[in-house]
């Protein structure tokens, strides 16, 4: 019987080992069809020097290299998908939490003014020791689970804002809670502090480190919650504006209260 | 879209770090080949180069997606100048330095042009060790997943796995220098 690849096996009388080697070389030169068992087996038995002319085109670790490429791409794609799913799940949780908070907020909006007045009474009584006032307000806020609280309040000016420090409502978005505190002095918003920003993951922290200073300077310039969104930090901007507006509302309510 | 880019940045960063560690391991094992073990040198070296090249590719994707993700507000300066980042400056700096180290290691080896002496080439190539360390530190500090147990376990295991080739190679060097006087 004549083998199909007669030309690759020149002479049947040649030493079979030599024949095998010739066949392998020929296979390599023609590029070889995939990693046939003969070529992968050969790497164990053949000295590297014998492979040199052929391995110029063909990598010694061709199969493993391909496997490494496929594994890397696969792992990267898998992780990307996993991160996406994990974040979507977290976002769903946060959304659920925030809608719950939102309903509480609507329900308690009417009560806010009342609570604020109470806090105002407490804080004026204890004015002087601001540390104690802060704690008192914090407790009041937590206990009542209300949206806003005042640390101290005094003069009312033409801007309609009473001087003092006001803590806005906590607004929770997809990434987490945002809460701001404003300081009004001479009827002007002189300082904004972000009490809470999303901090569950590194990316949020990085975004907020960048966005919050911009939002604050915008607020100080605009003297209202009517400010531009920081690109790339849309969620934070929106929540910031909600919290800021509630703090401003509180400063206004306090002014009206004092005027009455 | 930004969210997606962020996920790609994270996953390619992790893969690039693992590839650097693997390349390091394969390079060390290859270089310790004269120990008389039955390693197949050509295979180790070839895979080492493949892993090194892949690490470069994935780092490239990592940088491009990090830059393209406008949520992060990364400028070109952040990518190329150590210490230029407006926030998390140190963590970024490690990444930038690791990137330079990796690029130097890969491009000084790949087109075999730059170094004609083996000694200088090897000295430069050993930049790969600090570069990999910096990449790990960068990943640990900056990664969104750095806090998660899974990430820590993978990173620690990968680093631990490289300790074997490292020890292997160091012992090899020590053995060689002991032999040296008798040889010359
Ligand atoms: C794709 C580009 C690369 C090429 C062409 C390349 C090539 C080589 C070669 C030829 C050697 C053997 C040196 C010898 O013992 O004679 C080697 C060793 C080594 N390579 Fe690479 N390499 C590359 C990328 C990398 C990368 C990305 C890393 C690590 C992150 C790395 C780390 C090492 C280490 C640690 C050694 C051992 C050096 C020693 O112990 O003396 N290489 N590389
Ligand atoms: C110019 C240099 C680099 C820059 C600007 C950069 C930027 C970043 C950024 C922005 C992140 C955070 C991604 C996020 O959480 O959304 C990150 C994470 C990461 N980077 Fe880099 N990187 C650089 C170089 C490198 C290098 C050279 C490596 C390794 C080979 C690397 C590996 C990682 C890893 C593993 C993470 C963690 C991903 C995670 O788990 O969240 N980076 N990098």
A180 CB-near residues (< 8 Å, 6+ apart): A167, A168, A192, A193, A194, A195, A240, A243, A244, A247
Best mutation target among A46, A80, A81 (most B Cβ atoms within 10 Å) is: A80
To the nearest whole percent, how much of chain B has pLDDT over 90? 30
Lowest-confidence segment of A22-26, B83-87, B139-143, B174-178 by average pLDDT: B83-87
Mean pLDDT of chain B: 82
Q: Around A156, how many Cα atoms within 13 Å sit in the side-chain half-sphere?
A: 12
B8 CB-near residues (< 8 Å, 6+ apart): A76, A80, B61, B65
- Measure A61 CA to ligand 1 centroid, in angstroms: 15
Q: How confident is the model over B74-121, as pLDDT tens digits?
A: 777 777 877 766 666 788 889 999 999 999 999 888 766 666 677 888
Nearest-angstrom CA–CA distance, B136 and A143: 45
Among A63, A81, A241, CA closest to A168: A241
Q: How confident is the model over A85-108, as pLDDT tens digits?
A: 877 777 677 666 555 444 344 334
Q: Residues lining ligand 1, CB < 6 A?
A: B 20, 23-24, 27-28, 30-31, 45, 48-49, 52-53, 55, 102, 105-106, 109-110, 122, 125, 128-129, 132, 169
Secondary structure in 3-state letters for chain A = CCCCCHHHCCCCCCCHHHHHHHHHHHHHHCCCCCCCHHHHHHHHHCCHHHHHHHHCCCCCCHHHHHHHHHHHHHHHHHHHHHHHHHHHHHHHHHHHHHHHHHHHHHHHHHHHHHHHHHHHHHHHHCCCCHHHHHHHHHHHHHHHCCCCEEEEEEEECCCCCEEEEEECCCEEECCEEEEEEEEEECCEEEEEEEEECCCCCHHHHHHHHHHHHHHHHHHHHHCCCCCCCCCCCHHHHHHHHHHHHHHHHHHHHHHHHHHC
Question: Cα–Cα distances in Å, from A216 out to A28, A210, A211, B113, B126?
Answer: 68, 11, 9, 54, 47
* Residue B139 confidence class, pLDDT cut points 50, 70, 90: confident
CB-CB neighbours of A18 under 10 Å: 11
Whether the per-residue pLDDT at B129 is higher than 90: the answer is yes
Report the DSSP beta bridge partners of residue A164. Answer: A153, A184
| Chain B positions with Cβ closer than 8 Å to A | 2-4, 6-8, 10-12, 14-15, 18-19, 22, 40-47, 50-51, 54, 58, 70-73, 86-88, 142-147
Question: Cα–Cα distances in Å, from B48 out to A62, A155, B20, B45, B134?
Answer: 12, 73, 10, 5, 20
Please report, for chain B, the start and end positions of each structural domain, with discontinuous segments joined by +. Answer: 2-179
Place of tokens 């220098």: B177
Q: Class assignment of domain B2-179?
A: mainly alpha
Residues in chain B with CB shorter than 8 Å from the CB of A69 are 50, 54
Q: Are A184 and A193 in contact (CB under 8 A)?
A: no
User: Can you tell me the ipTM of this complex?
Assistant: 0.80
Q: How confident is the model over A26-58, as pLDDT tens digits?
A: 776 665 444 443 333 334 444 444 444 544 557
Whether the per-residue pLDDT at A133 is higher than 60: the answer is no
Q: Are A160 and A225 in contact (CB under 8 A)?
A: no
């Amino acid at each position: 019987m004549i083998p199909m690849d007669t030309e690759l096996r020149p002479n049947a009388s040649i030493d079979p080992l030599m024949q095998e080697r010739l066949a392998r070389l020929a296979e390599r030169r023609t590029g070889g069809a995939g990693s046939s068992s003969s070529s992968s087996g050969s790497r164990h038995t053949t000295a590297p020097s014998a492979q040199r002319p052929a391995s110029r085109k063909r990598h010694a670790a061709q199969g493993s290299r391909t496997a490494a490429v496929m594994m890397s791409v696969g792992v990267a794609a898998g992780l990307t998908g996993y991160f996406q799913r994990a974040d979507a799940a977290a976002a769903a949780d946060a959304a659920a939490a925030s809608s719950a908070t939102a309903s509480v907020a609507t329900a308690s909006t009417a009560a806010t003014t009342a609570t604020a007045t109470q806090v105002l009474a407490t804080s004026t009584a204890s004015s002087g020791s601001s540390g104690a006032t802060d704690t008192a307000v914090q407790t009041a806020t937590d206990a009542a689970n209300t949206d806003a609280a005042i640390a101290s309040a005094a003069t009312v000016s033409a801007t309609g804002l009473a001087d003092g420090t006001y803590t806005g409502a906590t607004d929770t978005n997809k990434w987490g809670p945002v809460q701001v505190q404003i300081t009004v002095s001479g009827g002007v918003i002189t300082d904004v502090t972000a009490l809470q920003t999303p901090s569950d993951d590194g990316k949020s922290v990085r975004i907020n480190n960048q966005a919050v200073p911009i939002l604050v300077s915008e607020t100080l310039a605009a003297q209202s919650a009517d400010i531009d969104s920081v690109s790339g930090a849309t969620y934070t901007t929106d929540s910031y504006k909600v919290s800021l507006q509630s703090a401003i509302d509180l400063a206004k309510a306090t002014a009206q209260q004092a005027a009455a | 879209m930004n969210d997606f880019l962020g996920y790609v940045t994270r996953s390619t960063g992790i893969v690039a770090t693992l590839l650097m560690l693997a390349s390091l391991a394969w390079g060390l094992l290859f270089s310790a080949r004269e120990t008389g073990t039955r390693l197949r040198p050509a295979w180790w070296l070839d895979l080492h180069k493949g892993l090194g090249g892949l690490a470069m590719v994935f780092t490239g994707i990592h940088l491009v997606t990090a830059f393209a993700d406008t949520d992060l507000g990364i400028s070109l300066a952040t990518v190329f100048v150590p210490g230029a980042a407006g926030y998390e400056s140190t963590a970024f700096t490690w990444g930038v330095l690791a990137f330079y180290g990796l690029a130097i290691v890969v491009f000084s080896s790949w087109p075999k042009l730059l170094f004609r002496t083996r000694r200088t080439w090897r000295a430069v190539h050993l930049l790969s060790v600090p570069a990999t360390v910096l990449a790990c530190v960068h990943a640990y500090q900056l990664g969104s997943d750095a806090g998660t147990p899974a990430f820590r376990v993978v990173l620690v295991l990968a680093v631990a796995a490289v300790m074997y080739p490292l020890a292997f190679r160091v012992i090899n060097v020590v053995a060689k220098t002991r032999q040296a006087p008798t040889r010359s």
